[in-house]
Amino acid sequence: MLSLSRLRMLRELHRLGTLAEVARALSYTPSAVSQQLSQLERECRVPLLERVGRRVRLTDQALSLVAHTEEVLAQLERAEAELAAASPRVSGTLKVASFQTVVLSFAPTALTLMAGRCPEVDVEITQREVGPAFEGLLSHDFDLILGEEYPGMPDRVRDGIDRAELLSDPLRLVLPPTGILSARPQSLADLADAPWAFDPSGTMTGAWARAECRKAGFEPRVRFDTPDPLMHAHLVRTGHAVAFSPALIAAQHLGGTQIFGLPDDPHRTLFTAVRAGRSDHPAVRAFRECLAEAALTEEAPAPSLVLAPADRRA
């Protein structure tokens, strides 16, 4: 019988592309991964890998084996979910990956709800951006992840993933309460010369923010480059920058700032994602329900003013 652990290594090689990445994902050395895949090849009695320069490529037989491996892993997770559902108690560890604004807003409420309903489930939360979170989900490092999708940047469809939307979160402009940067703009174009606090350009949030400014006709002066939304809020509050912010954190973390609506009222979409085979696990279902209920308790303050598009100033 073929070794499931070796089959999983082959699957990870197909997904990640290099032996070094497989070794990192599975906590092996590259040489150990290579030895295990060589052993799998001997067991299968067909070539699974071929050299292409310094890299290896999966043969057609290996790709067929990967497809079967995906089915086996999903079926095993469905079996585990059925066994868990048949138990009178929901227990175990649920590994979750989330980005920061969820942890800053409704995740604590969801954890409180979960502790009351499923006290024998330990929920572990790791902070990850959406891309690395999905990688961890696919490699079975996480059971559930929270993701976000920005306007004009749809998340790609991934096979074997069950996604459920949580909420639609308005995106706002925030300005200092006093000082040279506090003057109310009529449009984003009025802030062409202002110093901005943005997420890094390689992130979804940072890319959207820069695109929003360019849509208004200017290249933003990014003086502060950080993925920390609390740092953005602090820099705005102290008069050193202007920034965009999701409304979700406004009530608790944007005190002492001015909050404005943006043209066309852009929203980001928050969602949960799990592997399809694990979607019916009672711990997963319970935590999804707690997250959905907790999200409904969030009330973002209304903006003091909605900006006009750059070509239609009042």
- First and final C-alpha spacing in the chain: 73
Same domain, 144 and 16: no
Q: What is the dihedral of CA 25, 134, 64, 280, to 10 degrees?
A: 110
pTM score of the predicted model:
0.84
User: With 80 as the cut, is the pLDDT of residue 301 above it?
Assistant: no
CA–CA separation, 295 and 223 (whole Å): 33
Give the model's pLDDT for residue 220.
97
Same domain, 102 and 227: no
Same domain, 291 and 147: yes
Q: What is the pLDDT of residues 122-164, one digit of tens each?
A: 999 999 988 889 989 988 999 999 999 999 988 887 888 999 9
Domain hosting 162: range is 92-168+268-296
Same domain, 177 and 259: yes
Give the model's pLDDT for residue 313.
43
When pLDDT is cut at 50, 70 and 90, the band that residue 314 belongs to is very low
Please state the domain count of the chain: 3
Give the model's pLDDT for residue 311.
61
Residues in the chain: 314
Coil/strand/helix, residue 3: coil
Mean pLDDT of 208-216: 96
For residues 44-69, b (16+ Cβ closer than 10 Å) or e, as one string? beeebbeeeeeebebeeebeebbeeb
